[in-house]
Structures are given as structure tokens and as C-alpha cells.
């Protein structure tokens, strides 16, 4: 026997089934239009005014299970098998918008990102689904959403994946076309980021990284590994190669030939290093290692410009403690040393910017120990005197003129010149 029921606003199949002491699956079975007419979305959507046939006999056999769009399957003692797509049916709002019933497997699918292909490939998940469906030998379907959640969360599948990883897998399995489109778009964006930094990447690697970043975070060896922009920045940093194709030496100092954002970054790093005297106060190999590590750190995001400035500042103070106060007030090493460099440069008749801060006279002038034992710069007169004692002074026009004048005086004093 069967009764007729007209759907009212706010009804769901679950509510209707409970009110008539039957099951959702039996209502679907008694109303073929729910699965054959596309507007009912495989039985997941009903509308106010829809007339339903309600079976009135209660069947005490195993619960009926159904996959929307697939003919209903009667109660069975067969466990969930790989490749099957059986899930418990969902209740649906009569307003036309899908509303997952709190006791349905469809809710578990949405909440935990479980697609049929995923269930079929994971034994722990198969066992959990069988337990929820009562197909584990117990004969009892578990309808309490809290218990459903506890069972799913107790599986190895759930424990070994992050929320984003589960959502990614569900999306990939249930929307392969959109997944492929998103993957290509994300891979294209990765290629653009590499190119913007003057770096190259293969299409295969871009797709691989894009796929990882769509997962956002995964669990590896019990730890969460995040695939985000920091992950991509590190990959780009690791891909930077410093070799004969983009490095050469000028005057014993290494020069880098880089492209894109790396070129701008390298230029700024050169300028800051020069401001603090780094290239002039270290070996070529030492500067090379520092420069390359700094570039990679800046690209990877493990360093920022403030970190570089702080490192250079501390290094300058350790080399020239007499200028500590000036450097601490925000001056670069070159700015703090400028008056003394100018005095030396004027004596040597050279550009102050060309003076090597590692020069022994510069070190003597800037790291002078006074009579109290303090390390301070010499006064400017002392700086000029120290510069005159250096062999560089001998090659100046002033030195040559002075020596010529002295020679002429000696010759006159001995009567060799009128």
C-alpha cells in the first residue's frame, strides 16, 4: 500500500520519511521521477507542491542505500567494495536549494572530502563506511552525526591528511575538468613568477609545484608541510645558479650578471655592501659567498633588507669600533668614515670613493688608540700625516713638487745653482 503526500515549504525527504515511518531510500524507490527527472538532481532536490508516493509498509531488512543518479540498491550484507560508489542518501530542502541532512553520508562527503574513488582506494576508509552503513556484521546503521565524525576521524586516511589535502583530493576526483583548468592556470602563474625573477622553469616542474600548492598543506612523516608562497620562494631561491654564465671578475672582485628582479635586487645589495665597506674589507671569495647567500635568502624570504642592513652594520662596528657611535646613529660606514677618507684622499690626490677600507693607513687612522686606551679615529691633521707616510703619497704631484723643491734648495745651498 502507499499514500500520497504533497511537499510543503521546509520539507526534506528525511522529515517526510520520519513522519511516515519509512526511509528516504524507499521514498526515492517509490518515486522514479526523483532519479529520472534531472530537475530533482538525482533525488537530492524537491520542490513545494511535488506529489510523492509514500510507501506505508515498514521493511526491517538492512537499510537501503543509494547513490544519486544510480538506481537504488536494496539492503545487502555485502561490504563496501573498491570501485563502488554507494553512499547513504541525503535529505533535501523543498525550497530548491540542496540541504544536506545531518544524518547522511552526503554530509560526510562534503565535510571530510570523501569521493567514491577515494573510498575505494583506502582500506581504513572502506571499513569506516561499512561500519557507518551497518555492513560490518553489526546490522546497525550509525546515524548519529557525532559518531559518524568520530569513526571517520579515527581512520588512517583522516589522520594522515590535512583538511586542505582532503578537500583537494575530493575536488580533483569529483571535478576533474575544473581541476585541470585550475592546475594549468596556477602553473602559468608560477612560470610568470620565475620569469619575473629572471629564472626559468620547465612546464613539468611548474605543473608539479602547482599541484602541490593546490593541496596547501600535507602531512609527511607526521609533520605538516605547507605548500604556499614561502614554499615557492624557496624553490626559486634554490634554482638560482651562480656560475661562469652569470659571473665574472673585474679588478679581482666578482661581478654578477643577473636578469629581472634579481638584477634590481643585486644592484641594491651591491650598493648597501659598498656603503658599509664590505667588498673592500673582505676577500673576493668571502664576499662572493655572502652575496650569493644574501640573494638567495632575500628571494626565499628568510632574509629581508633590514636583516642585511643589521648584519652589515654589526660587521662594520666590529671592524671599526671607533665609529660605533656614528654607525649606531644610522650612518653607514662610508658616511661615518667620510671626513677621514677625504683627508687621506686629498693627500693621495685620489677620489675618496676609490680608497680601500682595508688599506693599512685607513685602518691606522680609523682605529687609533688614544692615551686613555680608547679606540677612536685620529684627528684630521693626524690622518693627513699618516697618509703622507704611505707609499701612495710618493706618486702624487704634490710629493713630486716638494721633492723637486727640496732638491733645488740643496743644489743652491751647495752652489750648484745660481
Question: Domain containing 101: what range?
Answer: 2-160
Residue 248 CA from chain centroid, whole number: 32
129 in the same domain as 228? no
Residue 210 lies in a domain: yes
Taking only the tens place, the pLDDT of each residue in 73-102 is: 233 333 333 333 333 332 333 333 333 333
Reference 325, options 379, 273, 377; nearest CA is 377
Under the banding of pLDDT at 50, 70 and 90, the label for residue 65 is very low
Tens of pLDDT, residue by residue over 1-35, are 568 899 888 888 888 888 888 888 888 888 888 87
Say yes or no: 9 and 153 in one domain: yes
Dist. CA 348–CA 400, nearest whole Å? 12
pLDDT of 157 higher than 60: yes
Highest mean pLDDT among 52-56, 80-84, 269-273: 269-273
Q: Which of 61-75, 210-224, 394-408 has the lowest mean pLDDT?
A: 61-75
What are the tens digits of pLDDT across the range 310-334? 999 999 999 999 999 999 898 999 9
- Comparing 94-98, 135-139, 178-182, 308-312, the range with the smallest average pLDDT is 94-98
- How confident is the model at residue 160, as a pLDDT? 86
In a domain, 181, yes or no: yes
Is a pLDDT exceeding 80 seen at residue 244? no
Q: 153 and 95 share a domain?
A: yes
Contacts for 230 with CB less than 8 Å, ≥ 6 apart: 300, 301
25 and 60 belong to one structural domain: yes
Residue 137 lies in a domain: yes
pLDDT at 375: 93
Q: What is the reported pLDDT for 153?
A: 85
Domain membership flag for residue 221: yes
Higher pLDDT, residue 197 or 88: 197
User: Does some domain include residue 412?
Assistant: no
Which region among 62-71, 217-226, 370-379 has the lowest average model confidence (pLDDT)?
62-71
pLDDT for position 85: 33
Span 165-189, average pLDDT = 90
In this structure, are 177 and 283 located in the same domain? no
Indicate the average pLDDT of the chain.
80
245 CB-near residues (< 8 Å, 6+ apart): none
Do residues 40 and 143 both lie within one domain? yes
Region 196-204 average pLDDT: 92
Same domain (yes/no): 6, 119: yes
Query: Are residue 287 and residue 199 in the same domain, yes or no?
Result: no
- Looking at the domain assignment, is residue 325 inside a domain? no
On whether both 59 and 90 belong to a single domain, the answer is yes
HEC string of the chain?
A: CEEEEECCCCCCHHHHHHHCCCCHHHHHHHCCHHHHCHHHHHHCCCECCCEEEEECCCCCCCCCECCCCCCCECCCCCCCCCCCCCCCCCCCCCECCCCCCCCCHHHHHHHHCCCHHHHHHCHHHHHHHHHHHCCCCCCCCCCCHHHHHHHHHCCHHHHCCCHHHHHHHHHHHHCHHHHHHHHHHHHHHHHHHHHHCCCCCCHHHHHHHHHHHHHCEEEECCEEEECCHHHHHHHHHHHCCCCCCCEEEECCEEEECCCHHHHHHHHHHHHHHHHCCCHHHCCHHHHHHHHHHHHHHHHHCCCCHHHHHHHHHHHHHHHCHHHHHHHHCCCCHHHHHHHHHHHHHHHHCCCHHHCCCCCHHHHHHHCEECCCCCEECCCHHHHHHHHHCCHHHHHCHHHHHHHHHHHHHHHHHCCCCC
Range 157-183 average pLDDT: 88
Question: Residue 152 — very low, low, confident or very high, per pLDDT cuts 50/70/90?
Answer: confident
pLDDT-wise least confident of 199-203, 235-239, 276-280: 276-280
Looking at the structure, do residues 145 and 258 belong to the same domain, yes or no? no
**Residues 26 and 100 both lie in one domain:** yes
Separation of alpha carbons 332 and 9, rounded Å: 75
Higher pLDDT, 41 or 181: 181
6 and 60 share a domain? yes
By percentage, how much of the chain surpasses pLDDT 70?
A: 81
Is 347 part of a structural domain of the chain?
Answer: yes
- Whether 218 has a pLDDT exceeding 50, the answer reads yes
User: What pLDDT is attached to residue 248?
Assistant: 66
Whole-number pLDDT of residue 417:
61
Is residue 414 in some structural domain?
no
Under the banding of pLDDT at 50, 70 and 90, the label for residue 175 is: confident
Q: pLDDT over 90 for what percent of the chain?
A: 35
Domain boundary among 212, 236, 260: 236
Number of folded domains that form the chain = 4
Across residues 119-137, what is the average pLDDT? 82
The verdict on pTM exceeding 0.85 is no
Amino acid at each position: 500500500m502507499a499514500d500520497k503526500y504533497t511537499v510543503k515549504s521546509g520539507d526534506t525527504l528525511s522529515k517526510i520519511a520520519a513522519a511516515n515511518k519509512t526511509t528516504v531510500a524507499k521514498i526515492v524507490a517509490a518515486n522514479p521521477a526523483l532519479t529520472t527527472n534531472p530537475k530533482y538532481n538525482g533525488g537530492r532536490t524537491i520542490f513545494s507542491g511535488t506529489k510523492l508516493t509514500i510507501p506505508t509498509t515498514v521493511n526491517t531488512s538492512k537499510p537501503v542505500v543509494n547513490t544519486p543518479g544510480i538506481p537504488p540498491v536494496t539492503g545487502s550484507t555485502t561490504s563496501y567494495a573498491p570501485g563502488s560508489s554507494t553512499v547513504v542518501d541525503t535529505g533535501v530542502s523543498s525550497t530548491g536549494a540542496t540541504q544536506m541532512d545531518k544524518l547522511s553520508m552526503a554530509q560526510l562527503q562534503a565535510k571530510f572530502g570523501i569521493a567514491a574513488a577515494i573510498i575505494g582506494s583506502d582500506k581504513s576508509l572502506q571499513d569506516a563506511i561499512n561500519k557507518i552503513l551497518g555492513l560490518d556484521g553489526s546490522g546497525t546503521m550509525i546515524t548519529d552525526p557525532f559518531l559518524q565524525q568520530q569513526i571517520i576521524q579515527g581512520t588512517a586516511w583522516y589522520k594522515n591528511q590535512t583538511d586542505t589535502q582532503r578537500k583537494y583530493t575530493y575536488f580533483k576526483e569529483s571535478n576533474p575538468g575544473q581541476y585541470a583548468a585550475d592546475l594549468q592556470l596556477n602553473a602559468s602563474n608560477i612560470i610568470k613568477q620565475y620569469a619575473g625573477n629572471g629564472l626559468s622553469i620547465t612546464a613539468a616542474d611548474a605543473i608539479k609545484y602547482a599541484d602541490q600548492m593546490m593541496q596547501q598543506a600535507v602531512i609527511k612523516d607526521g609533520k605538516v608541510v605547507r605548500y604556499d608562497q614561502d614554499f615557492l620562494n624557496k624553490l626559486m631561491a634554490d634554482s638560482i645558479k651562480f656560475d661562469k654564465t652569470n659571473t665574472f671578475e673585474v679588478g679581482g672582485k666578482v661581478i654578477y650578471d643577473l636578469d629581472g628582479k634579481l638584477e634590481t635586487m643585486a644592484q641594491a645589495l651591491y650598493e648597501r655592501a659598498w656603503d658599509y665597506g664590505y667588498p673592500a674589507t673582505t676577500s673576493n671569495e668571502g664576499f662572493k659567498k655572502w652575496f650569493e647567500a644574501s640573494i638567495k635568502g632575500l628571494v626565499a624570504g628568510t632574509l629581508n633588507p633590514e636583516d642585511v642592513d643589521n648584519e652589515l652594520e654589526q660587521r662594520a662596528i666590529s671592524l671599526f669600533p671607533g665609529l660605533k657611535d656614528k654607525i649606531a646613529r644610522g650612518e653607514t660606514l662610508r658616511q661615518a668614515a667620510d671626513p677621514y677618507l677625504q683627508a687621506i684622499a686629498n693627500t693621495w690626490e685620489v677620489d675618496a670613493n676609490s680608497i680601500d677600507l682595508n688599506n693599512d693607513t685607513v685602518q691606522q687612522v680609523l682605529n687609533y688608540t688614544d692615551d686613555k686606551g680608547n679606540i677612536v679615529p685620529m684627528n684630521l691633521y693626524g690622518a693627513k700625516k699618516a697618509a703622507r707616510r704611505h707609499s701612495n703619497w710618493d706618486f702624487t704631484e704634490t710629493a713630486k713638487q716638494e721633492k723637486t723643491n727640496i732638491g733645488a734648495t740643496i743644489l743652491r745651498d751647495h752652489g750648484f745653482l745660481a
